[in-house]
Amino acid sequence: MNPTCDRRPTSWVEGADGSEFPIQNLPWGVFSTEDGPARVGVRIGDFVLDVAALARDGLLAPASVFEQPSLNAFIALGRPAWSGARASLSALLRAGAAPRPEALIPIAQVKMHLPIRVEGFTDFYSSREHATNVGRMFRPDGDALTPNWLHIPIGYNGRASTVVVSGTPVKRPLGQLKPAHLDAPLFAACRRLDFELEMGVIVGAESAMGVGLTVAQADQAIFGYALLNDWSARDIQHWEYQPLGPFQAKAFATTLSPWVVTQEALEPFRVAGPAQDPAPLPYLRQPQAMNFDVALEASLRPRGASEATTISRTNFNGMYWSSAQQLAHHASSGCAMRVGDLLGSGTISGAAPGSFGSLLELTWGGKQPLTLANGPTRAFLEDGDTLTLTGRASREGITIGFGVCEGEILPAREVPV
């Protein structure tokens, strides 16, 4: 086992042991303080380790990549550099090492930024349970899954320009709607606003145009994972999605959590995904287990409410198409992949109703509203609602946390006349 993942080491950082950010985690992010620019840091317990400051002291190299307002320059150094930096930080933070308290900043004193400069964003549709639920709603008299679904990771190209960091408010979108009782569409505020519980995959290696990647190469090209909410305007989507799929219904906002958990930290949680039948074409076949055992939750808190209600509990381990397969398929046509590309896993749903990863499923298209704590109900999101995603992987007393991915819904702007 990689020594940075060993469950035995402890840290000199107070409160790190037993937290969701122990020495075995060390996720990367970008932060700033009142007296300094945005720069690279690592989460340990309730502190941010100022990696840029350590690099200036000669403890990590090259120092310039850690002074950046994104992780892209560091990620571009490649897997040996990722592992080397992780090993160096693990050694510095381990119990018995000389403490460096001056490099720690309490998490309450920092502002977190989008961790990567998103070069491109692609969202997938890779949970069989989610796709089946949606198919049953949209095609009640036909097959739940389309004929291609079991052969190919379905995806669409989203908008990198509206990927925002957790905590950024999301304005309710405007768009064309076509209610059933009207003969023509209207331009209005979305009435069926939804979330999608996903994992974001951070691509860490370039692939040249016209070349492609094997599944094994794609697995090694993944830098890490973060929580992702691909907000969805279901009524806009219903009117626009045929024949080319989602467009404005998904273009208005995607929220990414600020901490990127490295794939190296997740290695102890690697598991096999569901059996794939029929067997994928050779270019999509997996040489080893490619899924990860990460428990996920979504909670909803109306404005002014004293508590949030957990509305979904699910797990990343059940995805039919793995992230490595998604990346390999993305590059298979010869599409060039870049450092900082972001892949959305697609909505993560389990088999039980309480494990569905969207309100579309949880309320079955709005027909079965949820009752929240203290009585309010929701079919879809209302203005003032805050939706929060959390995730954690646990094994042998060690928990690897992902932090939170959160956004509050603001009212739509005025419809232009």
Residues identified as active-site: 130
Quick one: 405 exposed, middle or buried, by C-beta within 10 A (0-12, 13-18, 19+)? buried
Report how far Cα 316 is from the mean position of its chain's Cα atoms: 11
Alpha helices per DSSP H over 28-174: 51-56, 72-75, 79-93, 128-138
- Phi and psi at 225, nearest 5°, equal -135, 145
* Spatial distance between the Cα atoms of 407 and 61, rounded to a whole number of angstroms: 35
Contact between 286 and 217 under an 8 Å Cβ cutoff? The reply is: no
* Spatial distance between the Cα atoms of 127 and 296, rounded to a whole number of angstroms: 14
Q: Which amino acid is at 395?
A: R
Q: How far is CA 9 from CA 16, 90, 357, in A?
A: 11, 9, 35
Nearest to 124 by CA among 341, 338, 393: 341
* Spatial distance between the Cα atoms of 289 and 92, rounded to a whole number of angstroms: 32
Largest CA distance in the chain: 73
Q: How far is CA 107 from CA 95, 101, 278, in A?
A: 21, 14, 48
* Spatial distance between the Cα atoms of 230 and 228, rounded to a whole number of angstroms: 6
- Phi and psi at 92, nearest 5°, equal -65, -30
Nearest to 358 by CA among 311, 401, 397: 311
- Full DSSP string of 315-371: EGGG-SS-HHHHHHHHHHTSPPB-TT-EEE------SSGGG-SSHHHHTTTTTSPEE
Contact between 313 and 92 under an 8 Å Cβ cutoff? The reply is: no
